[in-house]
Structure 1
Amino acid sequence: MTVNVLLQRVLRENVAAMGEQVVIVATPSPSPPGGVQAPRTPLPDLRGGTDLKLAKDLGDSVLRHQWTVTWIAIALLAVTGSAVGWWLSGRVLRPVHRITATARRLSLSNLHERIALDGPQDELRELADTFDEMLGRLERAADGQRRFAANASHELRTPLAIQRAAIEIGLQDPSPEQVARMRVELLQATARTERLIDGLMILAQGERGPEQSDPVDLADIARDAADQHHRGATDAGVTLALDLHPAPSTGDPVLLTRLAANLIDNAIRHNHPEGSVLIRTSPDSVLTVTNTGPHVPADRVPELFEPFRRLHSPRTGSAQGAGLGLSIVAAIAQSHGAEVHATPNAEGGLTVSVTLPRRTIAHGPGSS
């Protein structure tokens, strides 16, 4: 279009120039002093006006042709651009529609579905892969919740069944011996239920996170937890050894004490007579509990930190506890930003280390 406007301007200038060359106005020459009139200059031949008209008509014809071609080109470009834009927008937005459709279909029953977007590694592919990873985490979390609910139901049903059987059978024709035996069984079942409920409450509190964060010393916490389990270790024939160094950190003292107590209780429970438990703390804010005991397969170690998981069986009975000890440790550690590592010992037993964020002790101006 700009070319047409420039062409029209050039043609007009050329036609105007041709008109100036054809039309020449004659002016009379001045008379000489003698009074003799000089001859007039003859007017030029005006037949060139025909050439001027032909040039003007040619220019108009060229302009009309140029404008016609221009409008046709604009129409073709508009149609082609619209078609290409529609195709490109569909190609670009198709992955977005796929992601949206997958998100709308998702529920707890089909978390296994994935977008699985193929194509170049661009921003949309990265978004789809991130969404798939999130679905994987949600699926694992949902499966864990289902397993937790099923295992908790089983653990709670067992002591209740024992209590009901003891009451129904023991009270049919009670004798002093039967009453005494039923009393012991009911107390054991009730104690198991209490331990399970207490463990579930501590696990929920640990996952929720600490209600307060105070300066603590892991050495003091480990010493208090060891004192709580000293009698249990003596009854089990297990020796407790302490190697405690100042380990400053921050956290909820109650939850951290429960963490250390669970580690020590687990080390005593899964040990053998005349075994040992070594409790260490280091200035790097690391609490380590090492125990002797049966051999622990390395590939089974991650299972020990799942709720209601035990080494030889998912559920083994009240004698081995509720199976929440190490899962509570993992939950409390995670809520405190700590790391938990468990390593099987070559001679048997397990070494569990908990690394908490280190607290820097500020020294005053007069401190050395």
Structure 2
Amino acid sequence: MTVRARMTLLYGGLFTVITLGVLGTALWIQTRIVNDRVQDVPFPADPIASGAVRGPADGRKRIIGPEQFQESLIGSQQLVILTAFAVIVVLAFAVSWWLTGRLLRPLHRITGTARRLSLSTLHERIALDGPRDELRQLADTFDAMLDRLERAADSQRRFVANVSHELRTPLAVQRTAIEVGLADPSPERLAVVRDEMLRNTRRSERLIEGLLVLAQGERGLDRRDPVDLAAVVGQVVGENLASAERAGVGVTADTRPATVAGDEVLLARMVANLVQNAIRHNHRGGSVRVALREGELTVANTGPVVPPDEVDGLFEPFRRLAGERTGSDGGAGLGLSIVAAIVQAHGGTVTATAAPDGGLTVAVAFT
């Protein structure tokens, strides 16, 4: 039985019971009044009045109506009340059916939209109008869920397309290098081809490794252990001092004791990505400042000016400034997206702020 039918039976039955009680009470009262036709009236001056019978010694008389009139009146009242009851019951169920249909109409819209959903129709919305009641809240919640699903599907499509492009590029370069080397198999040419293939192989390895870390971060943590984040930061900064010196970038670290519950390997990768990005996207003579306080890690650098409207896009995979795709030597373009996934897996938040004179400040907060 449908919800509409159950609601109709419920409301119609309830109204029927109430109507039956009201009409039954009215019929009982009227029957009592008709049956009690004996009234006390003043004794007339003429003792020989039509139909009058001398009454008690108090000077009053009793007048009794005909029984046939009483029975006819009661029967007519019963017929009218029963007819009205039948009409009211029919109207009650009809109105209940109509009202429940109107009340459930938003649910039919929600059901219809849900049945039509697919990857190609995630743009559809219920967009329910009317008062902000429970059904409106349900429809708005459903629309908000569709917004999230549409963004996730779009992000997944872009991610797959970008991965396909990034994996295809080094393979195409390697094939070209091999063809060129085979066309001119001199030792010098073969050495160039070898170096080119090694460089593209390393790039593919970095890309695949980054994708694996990104997937692990998005999956979440199976267990959490206390991690000395200050020690992790110190180790990562020390490992990147040589590359910073080659790039002409100074690195300073101000750390205080801080412990985070999580995975030490992922946290080390998060710090390494932040520091390496800050060094890579910098200029000669620039600086990188790493600060660690209880529950918060901040990495700031100098460098090119970052448009404020492109800051959020830096956390998307394969994104750089101005929405460009990654190049061949600048990394796999997964640095900040891996950071965001690892932070989310640890229950934290990550934000980025662009400095007006150039550079970026990335703040990671752990709860």
* Residue in 2 that maps onto 1:5: 28
Identity %: 57
What secondary structure does 1:117 align onto? coil
Aligned pair count?
324
Q: Deviations over 1:131-188 (max 9, x none)?
A: 0000000000000000000000000000000011111221123000001000000001
* Residue in 1 that maps onto 2:302: 292
Q: Distance in 2 between matches of 1:76 and 1:146?
A: 62
Q: Contact 1:340/1:355 (CA < 8 Å) preserved in 2?
A: yes
Q: Which of 119, 128, 138 does residue 149 from structure 2 map onto?
A: 138
Q: Distance in 2 between matches of 1:347 and 1:187?
A: 38
What secondary structure does 1:320 align onto? coil
1:179 aligns with 2:190: yes
Shift of 1:11: 4.3
Q: Distance in 1 between matches of 2:28 and 2:325?
A: 91
Q: Which of 150, 162, 168 does residue 157 from structure 1 map onto?
A: 168
* Residue in 2 that maps onto 1:362: none
* Residue in 2 that maps onto 1:41: none
* Residue in 2 that maps onto 1:212: 223
Range with greater deviation from structure 2 (116-125 or 74-83): 74-83
Shift of 1:8: 3.1
Q: Distance in 2 between matches of 1:101 and 1:316?
A: 42
Q: Distance in 1 between matches of 2:255 and 2:321?
A: 29
Shift of 1:313: 4.4
Shift of 1:12: 4.2
* Residue in 2 that maps onto 1:122: 133
Shift of 1:277: 0.8
Structure-to-structure mapping, 1:61-210, within 5 angstroms: 61-210=72-221
Shift of 1:236: 1.3
Structure-to-structure mapping, 1:37-56, within 5 angstroms: 55-56=66-67
Structure 1, gaps ≥5 residues long: 19-43, 46-50, 358-368
Q: CA, structure 1 residues 194+161, in 2 after alignment: closer, same or farther (shift >3 Å)?
A: same
* Residue in 1 that maps onto 2:269: 258
Q: Deviations over 1:77-116 (max 9, x none)?
A: 1122122112101110111111101100001110000001
CA RMSD of aligned residues (A): 1.8
Q: Which of 339, 342, 350 does residue 352 from structure 2 map onto?
A: 342
Shift of 1:13: 5.2
Q: Contact 2:313/2:323 (CA < 8 Å) preserved in 1?
A: no
Q: Deviations over 1:235-255 (max 9, x none)?
A: 211111111111222111111
Q: Contact 1:8/1:59 (CA < 8 Å) preserved in 2?
A: no
Q: Deviations over 1:191-224 (max 9, x none)?
A: 1100000000000001011232111232111111
With normalisation by structure 2, the TM-score equals 0.84
Structure 2, gaps ≥5 residues long: 1-23, 41-52, 55-62
Q: Which has the larger radius of gyration?
A: 1
Q: Distance in 2 between matches of 1:131 and 1:316?
A: 36
What secondary structure does 1:281 align onto? strand
Q: Contact 1:210/1:255 (CA < 8 Å) preserved in 2?
A: no
Q: Contact 2:318/2:326 (CA < 8 Å) preserved in 1?
A: no
Shift of 1:10: 4.7
Q: Distance in 1 between matches of 2:243 and 2:108?
A: 62
Q: Distance in 2 between matches of 1:201 and 1:249?
A: 23
What secondary structure does 1:341 align onto? strand
Q: Distance in 1 between matches of 2:151 and 2:116?
A: 18
What secondary structure does 2:127 align onto? coil
Q: Distance in 1 between matches of 2:226 and 2:208?
A: 29
Shift of 1:14: 4.9
Amino acid corresponding to residue 31 of structure 2 in structure 1: Q
* Residue in 1 that maps onto 2:45: none
Amino acid corresponding to residue 69 of structure 1 in structure 2: V
Amino acid corresponding to residue 302 of structure 2 in structure 1: T
